[in-house]
Amino acid sequence: MHTLTAFGHGAAVVIVGAGALGSLIGARLARAGQRVVLVGRSAQVQAIGEAGVTLHEESGTCVVPVPASTDIGLVASAGFVLLCVKSADTEAAARAMAPHLRPESAVLSLQNGVANGPVLATVLQRSVMVGAAYVAASMQAPGVVRHAGGQGLVIGCLPGPQGDSLADDAQKQLRLQLQLQQQLQAGGFDVRLSDAPLTELWRKLVVNCACNAISALAQAPYGVMATVPAVRELQQAVLREAVAVAQAEGHTMALDEMQIAVDRVATTMPAQRSSTAQDLARGRRSEIDQLNGQVVRAAARHGIATPANQALWALVLLQEAVQARTSTAGPV
């Protein structure tokens, strides 16, 4: 474990969650000359501390030294905190960060699902930024990341509780968003600001619902999925349900537009498997509750039937249960 002094004067960006996306962003920002600290689990931190982040990209492979620690208290040194943990860990991470965050520090959630930002705002009692990351990355080993495509990040600010200084200062909100946009652009990302970030998160959620579980259950890359007509029909059914739910939740989107977005996944990342597929392949709990499960729960509030999403959600949960039972079973 590192101490704060090990990082010099302090880190401009502290990334909590040193998985594939967090490590990719951290390595790129560090390569661009920015002060970055990755906070993660011990195996990942040890690998990065010993050998840096090995980054495989289309342009080639490089090794980027990045300070890493298991100490979440290092957020006290941050101008920006990027939260990249799994959605199930959001509340715990927020409670761990809360005593250490400075009032002027900005927090950005770059996570799957639509509930993380509101959870952060509630626990931290402050405005937070949320972002939809259209970036495909996989962790091939601790400290080794492969970028499979996509550079897009869409970020925006959620309101905090009444009386929150950032929520009451629109100019400060915009200034922080522009500053973070510039820092992320320096890392090679295509960053767009949004006045409706929750709608952006719902748009990504809808695409994920049509892609992630199917890829996971078959361990199939997106390009192969697109060649099977029955799979495309299933995706269309999932999309129809998810778009109807998103619209009922007050978010503007069109079915044909979302179909184009799903088709684009297969053409831009044909060899990539979903993050849910990667989780199941490693025997880890996935974020399916925050994807198809989120759609099913929201649909129930509006009386919308979602049998396709219900089936995919249930099947991934079943696969997780089978894996958990297998891993705990002794030798026969």
Q: Are residues 178 and 215 in the same domain?
A: no
Greatest CA separation for the chain: 65
C-alpha to C-alpha distance for 119 and 179, rounded to whole angstroms:
24
Active site residues: 204
Report percent pLDDT > 70 for the chain.
92
Give me the CATH number covering residue 297. Answer: 1.10.1040.10
pLDDT value at 175 more than 60: yes
Q: Are residues 153 and 256 in the same domain?
A: no
Q: Are residues 187 and 311 in the same domain?
A: no
Which domain covers residue 67, as residue numbers?
Answer: 4-195
Q: Are residues 185 and 203 in the same domain?
A: no
Q: What is the mean pLDDT of residues 196-211?
A: 96
Among 86, 136, 83, which residue's Cα sits nearest to residue 110?
83
Higher pLDDT, 160 or 221: 221
Q: Are residues 226 and 175 in the same domain?
A: no
Q: How far is CA 68 from CA 18, 53, 74, 90, 154, in A?
A: 8, 10, 10, 20, 26
C-alpha to C-alpha distance for 269 and 141, rounded to whole angstroms:
20
Q: How many CB atoms lie within 10 A of CB 318?
A: 11
Q: What is the mean pLDDT of residues 64-83?
A: 95
* 8 Å CB contact between 277 and 219: yes
Beta carbons within 8 Å of 145's beta carbon, 6+ residues apart: 20, 23, 24, 27, 53, 54, 55, 56, 137, 138, 139
Q: Are residues 153 and 32 in the same domain?
A: yes
Strand pairing report for 106-109 and 144-158: unpaired
The per-residue pLDDT for 104 is: 87
pLDDT value at 21 more than 90: yes
Q: How confident is the model over 98-136, as pLDDT tens digits?
A: 999 998 899 999 999 999 999 999 999 999 999 999 998
Give me the CATH number covering residue 67. Answer: 3.40.50.720
C-alpha to C-alpha distance for 54 and 142, rounded to whole angstroms:
9
Q: Are residues 224 and 191 in the same domain?
A: no
pLDDT value at 330 more than 70: no
Q: How confident is the model over 249-271, as pLDDT tens digits?
A: 999 999 999 999 999 999 988 99
**Which of 153, 176, 195 is the C-terminal boundary of a domain?**
195
**Which of 195, 220, 255 is the C-terminal boundary of a domain?**
195
Query: Could you tell me the two tokens for 273?
Result: 């498997």
How does 255-288 read in b/e, with b if 16+ C-beta sit within 10 Å?
Answer: eeebbebbeebbeebbebbbbbbbbbeeeeebbb
* 8 Å CB contact between 86 and 287: yes
C-alpha to C-alpha distance for 179 and 188, rounded to whole angstroms:
15
Q: Are residues 160 and 22 in the same domain?
A: yes
Q: Are residues 8 and 51 in the same domain?
A: yes
Q: Are residues 238 and 268 in the same domain?
A: yes
pLDDT value at 329 more than 90: no
Q: Are residues 191 and 236 in the same domain?
A: no
Spell out the SS3 assignment of the chain.
CCCHHHHCCCCCEEEECCCHHHHHHHHHHHHCCCCEEEECCHHHHHHHHHHCEEEEECCEEEEECCCEECCHHHHHHCCEEEECCCHHHHHHHHHHHCCCCCCCCEEEECCCCCCHHHHHHHHHCCCEEEEEEEEEEEEEECCEEEEEEEEEEEEEEECCCCCCCCCCCHHHHHHHHHHHHHHHHHCCCEEEECCCHHHHHHHHHHHHHHHHHHHHHHCCCHHHHCCCHHHHHHHHHHHHHHHHHHHHCCCCCCHHHHHHHHHHHHHHCCCCCCHHHHHHHCCCCCCHHHCHHHHHHHHHHHCCCCHHHHHHHHHHHHHHHHHHHHHHCCCC
Q: How many structural domains compose the chain?
A: 2
pLDDT value at 2 more than 60: no
pTM: 0.89
